[in-house]
Amino acid sequence: MNNLAFTSIKDLRVLLAKKEISHDELLNFYRKRFEQHDHQIKSALEIFDAPSIKQRACNVDIGLLGGIPGLIKDNICMKGRIASCGSRILEHYKAPYNATVIDRLSQEGALFIGRANMDEFAMGSSTETSAFQRTHNPWNLTRVPGGSSGGSVAAVAAGFVPWALGSETGGSVRQPAALCGVVGSKPTYGLISRYGLVAYGSSLDQIGIATRTVYDNALVLSVMAGNDSRDATSISDRLLQDKKFDFTKDLTGKIRPGLKIGVIDNALYAEGIDPNIVEALETALKELEKLGAKIHHISLPSMDYSAATYFIISRAEAASNLARFDGVHYGTRSKDAQTLQEVYELSRANGFGIETKVRILMGNFVLSVGHADQYYQSAKSVRRIMREEFLETFKKVDLLFSPVSPSGAFAFNAFKENAVQMDLQDYFTCSANLVGIPAVSVPCGFTDEALPIGFQLLGPDYSESLIFQTLHAYEQQTPYHLMFPNVK
Amino acid sequence: MAVISREEVLKLARISQIKLAEDEIDYMVQQLEARLSYVTILKSILEQHKTADNAEGQVQTLVNIMREDVVKSTDSEPLLQEAPQREGNYFVVPVIIKQKPVSAE
């Protein structure tokens, strides 16, 4: 039965169709996994009771994800459930509506088993800024799972659920996926509706998916992708608007003949990158070459500026988005407040953790009169330079190849004395968010300390099918998606 | 450049409507300083692209989405239920305008 823990969605669907296992058995199995093992991983903030999960389910017999439970990052709204965003200020907040993705997944029979731990308001790269608990890396409990979607990803890696939703602003699904040895995707900006995703950096945010296989990731994305009239930034291209997406159909195990992959040399050979990572990625490149890909070595100079650009834009947008937490409309209110001003200042002081406060203050700094030109406008200009440079590069190569994280999973408090180093965890990932393009990370080996390593492929807007096809072919030639941590 | 004073941090905290505890202020100065120093590297890429048109612009080809302005009624009850303090259909806040005592003449 333990094998079931690491069974893919694809295989679970077969087992369910053949009635070798019932929907109830499957749900109870996963609920039990959490009950028995999550006390060490601490991936979930809450696991729902079985009746309330089933009560919300529909189309479990016919849907693409019929009866298959997933864990939802706690910044995605599920009607009547708490959506805390890992923050005290929303500790008791119950979402009054469903995110569009929740409705779409529901329509295809998916079950929502619980709420995943996360960095407060998705601000972090280790899930340590959660106000509630620290999530542990299933491969090594003394290490972080990465973040901010650390709870979602750790649960998938530990075999508690076959899929989980996270969200990305600067790499928050791909980075933990790399550190936990699973597949993590960040689709094109606008491909998935953000309606019901609590905003952090609105021009960067995109819901992402964690699974153990490429096929499963493509399947869950197929269910969620598409235009949504409730999100003005959702895809409006008429050709794509009403399209029924199926990102699994090109997963043949082969790559497209003549596929050109550009290795971002200034990323792969960046200063400070762990030699274990370089070695594993060079091996992965050889594998892609064996599959028929033409490898080109390129450089994307603007990528070296992506982290700085991201610092400014994400903080600016965070300061604006988090202005809504006022202790009046929803969320917690300070009991000590005597005046309206104190309601604001004390509710926010008590409700937000220190990292969130730093980001809000930095955001207001870069937006303030006298500084906006120097910081915010500069960052916007660089962002545009980056977009142009990436698009220019995609005229020469089909996909780009890059590391995800400069090292394997790090220890708790590793960057306590040097918080900028923690922020630089986004170094290789945030350019995809800034440019708006899709990127998917897959496992490709282990460090000397037996910690997972991943690489990512990036492609032009809406190239998810090509990315998945290539990574699926790679996955079929490698054993990493079949290696699991020993969760006791 | 990019040195930030304690006073500036306190001003930012006021703008951000966050009351900082005493021990948070120094930490905040240090954190903001580190990040603001880091982001100065943007200067060099902007110098390199000086000839290019650096006008701001949307990164992606987003277009305005127009729709008919149709009135839809929404049940406000689920939203009001989330209020920390309410009375009927109102959000309750502390008294903002204090009444002057009426002098008896």
Is there a contact between A57 and A106 (Cβ–Cβ < 8 Å)? yes
Chain segment A278-294, per-residue pLDDT in tens: 999 999 999 999 999 99
Mean pLDDT across B8-18: 97
List all residues of chain B from 1 to 60 with a beta carbon under 8 Å from chain A: 4, 8-9, 12-13, 15-21, 24, 27-28, 31-32, 34-36, 38-39, 41-43, 45-46, 49, 52, 54-57, 59-60
A163/A152 Cα distance (integer angstroms): 8
DSSP A216: H
Main-chain dihedrals φ then ψ at residue A45, nearest 5 degrees: -85, -25
Check if A148 is active-site. yes
Phi, psi of B16 (to 5 degrees): -80, -5
- Tokens for A14? 């077969």
Summarised one tens digit per residue, pLDDT across range B36-92 is 999 999 999 999 887 555 455 555 566 777 788 998 888 899 999 999 999 999 999
Q: Which of A172, A193, A405, A465 is catalytic?
A: A172
Chain A residues in contact with B94 by the CB 8 A cut-off are 337-340, 342-343
Set A42, A73, A149, A306: catalytic member: A73
Judge contact between A441 and A157, C-beta under 8 A. no
Contacting residues of A for B3, CB less than 8 Å apart: none
Tokens of A99: 């995110």
Length of chain B: 105
| Distance spanning both ends of chain A, measured CA to CA | 14
DSSP string, A120-178: GGG--SSSTT-SS----BTTBTTB---SSSHHHHHHHHTTS-SEEEEEESSSTTHHHHH
Q: Assign 3-class secondary structure to A427-468.
A: CCCHHHHHHCCCEEEEEEEECCCCCEEEEEEECCCCCHHHHH
Question: What's the pTM?
Answer: 0.96
What string of pLDDT tens digits covers the 488 residues of chain A?
457 999 999 999 999 999 999 999 999 999 999 999 999 999 999 999 999 999 999 999 999 999 999 999 999 999 999 999 999 999 999 999 999 999 999 999 999 999 999 999 999 999 999 999 999 999 999 999 999 999 999 999 999 999 999 999 999 999 999 999 999 999 999 999 999 999 999 999 999 999 999 999 999 999 999 999 899 898 876 666 667 899 999 999 999 999 999 999 999 999 989 999 999 999 999 999 999 999 999 999 999 999 999 999 999 999 999 999 999 999 999 999 999 999 999 999 999 999 999 999 999 999 998 999 899 999 999 999 999 999 999 999 999 999 999 999 999 999 988 878 887 889 999 999 999 999 999 999 999 999 999 999 999 999 999 999 999 999 999 999 999 999 87
ipTM of the prediction = 0.92
Q: How many helices (H) and strands (E) does chain A have?
A: 18, 11
Chain B contact present for A93, CB below 8 A:
yes
